[in-house]
Amino acid sequence: MSNRIYTSILLIASFFLIMFISNVWIFSITIAAICLLSFYEWIKNNFQLTIFGFLIIANFGFWSIFYIHLSTDLNQSSYFMYALIITNTAIFDTFAFLIGSNFGKTYIAKKISPNKTLEGIIGGIFASLFFGIIVGYVFDIFFIVLIFITASIFAFFGDLLVSYFKRQSGIKDTGNVLPGHGGVLDRIDSHLLATPISILALII
């Protein structure tokens, strides 16, 4: 548990440091490295549908980098908004886990991911809703509520997708590069679908 906490603190600090620096190339290189490590774990664990894995990971990387570059060209600061997108997914993940672990009784994908419950998902969605309302009220961008709720649903399916491939390969974690958390792919699974859909909603 201590390793998990220390790693979480390091990951959070690193993420917000990159957001604070707000350098488009540092951001792009970091995202590219995350995607390469994730795809390496996909191959190393003999996950099926290698091309699909490459495309879904590359899609996450493309939209992340494209969004930052686009807003930079338009003289808009999108690092803060990107941080909100990532934070929303993390909040959904955290509350889905906490509520599911303590109150979950209705298992919805037991063969793929035994710990996922309907109660946990609903709890995570309500947490995203609450976060969206706060952000919308403070920054007067209430459309963000709908984006966050939609993203939380996609976060669930992203997590479930990677869980399916892990189940097929008979493993619990995609790696051990992050003590207490597993692999890089374990950390970004929920973001794989949630981040692109959030960015598309913001752009459109």
Q: pLDDT tens digit string along 94-137?
A: 999 999 999 989 999 888 988 899 999 999 999 999 999 999 99
Residue 21 CA to residue 27 CA, distance in Å, equals 9
Write down the H helix ranges in 45-117: 50-73, 79-103
Model confidence at 9, in pLDDT bands (50, 70, 90)? confident
pTM: 0.92
Q: Count of CB atoms within 10 A of residue 93's CB?
A: 23
* 35-69: pLDDT as tens digits: 999 999 999 999 999 999 999 999 999 999 999 98
Contacts of 158 (CB under 8 A, 6+ apart): 189, 190, 191, 192, 193, 194
In this prediction, residue 66 carries a pLDDT of 94
In this prediction, residue 75 carries a pLDDT of 55
Residue 173 per-residue DSSP state:
-
In this prediction, residue 163 carries a pLDDT of 94
Model confidence at 154, in pLDDT bands (50, 70, 90)? very high
Tokens of 145: 């509520």
In this prediction, residue 70 carries a pLDDT of 85
Contacts of 15 (CB under 8 A, 6+ apart): 83, 86
Residue 54 CA to residue 63 CA, distance in Å, equals 14
Percentage of residues in the chain having pLDDT higher than 90? 70
Name the nearest CA neighbour of 30 among 16, 18, 48: 18
Whether the predicted pLDDT of 164 surpasses 90: yes
In this prediction, residue 12 carries a pLDDT of 84
> In sequence order, what are the beta bridge partners of 117?
107
Whether the predicted pLDDT of 4 surpasses 70: no
In this prediction, residue 1 carries a pLDDT of 53
In this prediction, residue 162 carries a pLDDT of 96
Model confidence at 77, in pLDDT bands (50, 70, 90)? low
Q: Tally the C-alpha atoms within 13 A of residue 38's C-alpha that lie toward its C-beta.
A: 26
